[in-house]
Amino acid sequence: MGALRRVDKNCACVESIIQSNGGGKDSLISILQDVQAEYHYLPEKALRRVAKNLGLPLVQVYGVATFFKAFSLKPRGKHLVHVCLGTACHVRRAPAVLAEVERHLGVAKGETTPNFEFTLETVNCLGTCALGPIVMVDEKYYGQMNVGKVKKMLAGYKKFSRPKRDEKIKVSA
Amino acid sequence: MVELTIDGIPTRVPEGTTVVEAARDLGIVIPTLCHHPGLSPYGACRVCLVEVAKGKRSSLEASCTLPAAEGQVIFTNSARVKATRKVIIELLLASCPSSKTLQDLAANFGVNRVRFQIKDKNCILCGLCVRYCKEQMQSGGIGFVGRGTGRQVATAFSVTPEECRNCGGCEWICPVCERACTADRLVNGLCGGCQNVFPVETCPVCVNCSQSVGAAGHKVYY
Ligand code: SF4
Ligand code: SF4
Ligand code: FES
Ligand code: FES
């Protein structure tokens, strides 16, 4: 269970996150954002704790967590790679960039590498079309991407290792 | 108290009354789906829409969430209301043809075809069950999950929540669960089993108090 090693067993840090957000029901979204920043996703245990501490029904917290695309209930990698496939990026060969990123990480879009370093996702416009095709890794934008630049971009992130050619990739949900 | 006119009948109701309640006090029936007297107004289904005259213009509004206001002029059964309501019923049927409540509505309002692609979701997202659970049972075991076309009523993590009191109220109040249409075969989303093809007999001054006054209208018995 690669993902769980990062989750302290009972998600104890949830308490302090709630305190630092004022402890009110109305700060649910910012609490969830902070929890996600801590674990890279929203573990079930953490959601249960949030619900209990705020005195909300669990389903309400769960409803918010499933409503926003920014929240994930599945374990995600340390680094989030967003490849833009919007119209402007698409016509500038973003699909080829995506294919190259997929090849380098060894996972398809929407998936996470087995070492939980990278999660690959696509978006439909990052609002910087002039720089397209664009790839965003965590908070950083990489503009005017092409197939050749992908390797260098990913190499900037620690623990990046290309999967061996015939290594079978299994992504746990 | 505020004074308003509904279908030409002037009436006075206490402030804060909704138009649907004011109309019911007069015996004017406005069809509703997501409205329930014991639950908070929600305005999800739009079946209850009425026409509100505003000078030379008019607008369509959901009467279950519309507070009665001074001088309001409401039409509950105008041509525009009827036509729009039919489309709404068609849309609802397209997402949930298995509900008897909906099939009855369709029969009563003369909906005899559904022009939309049928995608049976077994739920019209009316929120009755969610509000019942939260407001009447103080439980909050179920809620809305996801969004857009993937929105559905569910429990958290798909497990029976500890808050659930097994009251069965959510099923009882649902227009689909316990009131499922049992017709053998739906033709294009309609069962047609209870289509009102004959005029209903009513008393001389008909105010449409009976839900069974359907598309074929009514004839008077003496
Ligand atoms: S059966 Fe459970 S989920 Fe349904 S209304 Fe009752 S308490 Fe809520
Ligand atoms: S399950 Fe039934 S009561 Fe609940 S939202 Fe769907 S149609 Fe309405
Ligand atoms: S289409 Fe890629 S940034 Fe707008
Ligand atoms: S009854 Fe008014 S919107 Fe559903």
Structural domains in chain A?
A: 12-67 (no CATH), 79-155 (3.40.30.10)
Distance from CA of A3 to the nearest CA of B (A): 18
- Say which residue, B182 or B127, is predicted with more confidence: B127
Query: Is the ipTM, as predicted for this complex, more than 0.85?
Result: no
Q: Within this chain, do residues B40 and B108 fall inside the same structural domain, yes or no?
A: yes
What burial class does residue A129 get, using C-beta atoms within 10 Å of its C-beta: 0-12 exposed, 13-18 middle, 19+ buried? middle
A1: confidence class by pLDDT, cuts 50, 70, 90: very low
Residue-wise pLDDT for B35-47, tens only, equals 999 999 999 999 9
Helices (H), A86-149: 87-91, 94-105
Please check whether residue B215 lies inside any domain of the structure.
Answer: no
Please check whether residue B28 lies inside any domain of the structure.
Answer: yes
Distance CA B126, CA B173 (A): 11
Residue-wise pLDDT for A55-78, tens only, equals 889 999 999 999 998 898 988 888
Structure letter (DSSP) for residue A112: B
CA of B108 to the centre of ligand 2 (A): 21
**Shortest-distance Cα residue to atom 3 of ligand 2:** B174
Yes or no, beta carbons of A57 and B141 under 8 Å apart: yes
Residues of B in contact with A58 (CB under 8 A): 156, 161, 163
The mean pLDDT value of chain A amounts to 84
Residue-wise pLDDT for A123-148, tens only, equals 999 889 998 799 999 888 999 998 98
Number of domains in chain B: 2
Give the residue from B144, B149, B152 with the most A CB atoms within 10 Å of its CB, the best one to mutate.
B144
CA distances from B219 to A171, B108, B160, B211 (A): 69, 15, 52, 15
Q: For residue B140, give the nearest of A47, A59, A67 by CB distance.
A: A59
CATH number of the domain at B150, please: 3.30.70.20
Nearest-5° Cα angle at A140, A137 to A141: 90
| Residues across chain B | 222
Q: Within this chain, do residues B162 and B132 fall inside the same structural domain, yes or no?
A: yes
Distance CA B97, CA B15 (A): 38
Alpha carbon dihedral B143, B144, B146, B147, in 10-degree steps, equals: -160
B194: confidence class by pLDDT, cuts 50, 70, 90: low
Answer positive or negative: Cα dihedral of A156, A160, A164, A169: negative
Please check whether residue B9 lies inside any domain of the structure.
Answer: yes
3-state secondary structure at position A17: helix
Atom of ligand 4 nearest to the CA of B41: 2
Distance from CA of B49 to the nearest CA of A (A): 28
Domain interval for residue B61: 2-119+184-197
- Say which residue, A16 or A172, is predicted with more confidence: A16
Please check whether residue B217 lies inside any domain of the structure.
Answer: no
Q: A64-91 b/e with 16+ CB inside 10 Å = b?
A: bbbbeeebbeebbbbbbbbbbbbebbbe
Give the pLDDT score at B19. Answer: 94
Q: Within this chain, do residues B160 and B133 fall inside the same structural domain, yes or no?
A: yes
Residues 104-143 of B with CB under 8 A from A: 134, 139-143
- Say which residue, A44 or B177, is predicted with more confidence: A44
CA of B174 to the centre of ligand 2 (A): 5
Tokens for A47? 């959601």
Distance from CA of A67 to the nearest CA of B (A): 5
Answer positive or negative: Cα dihedral of B180, B184, B187, B191: negative
Q: Which residue of B has its CA nearest to A59?
A: B156
- Say which residue, A88 or B220, is predicted with more confidence: A88
Give the pLDDT score at B48. Answer: 93
Lining residues, ligand 3, CB within 6 Å: A 84, 86-89, 125-129, 132, 134
Residues 19-58 of A with CB under 8 A from B: 44, 47, 56-58
Residue A3 has pLDDT above 60, yes or no: no
The mean pLDDT value of chain B amounts to 85
Q: Within this chain, do residues B111 and B6 fall inside the same structural domain, yes or no?
A: yes
Q: Within this chain, do residues B47 and B137 fall inside the same structural domain, yes or no?
A: no
Residue-wise pLDDT for A26-57, tens only, equals 899 999 999 988 888 899 889 999 998 898 89
CATH number of the domain at B42, please: 3.10.20.740
A171: confidence class by pLDDT, cuts 50, 70, 90: very low
Give the pLDDT score at A6. Answer: 52
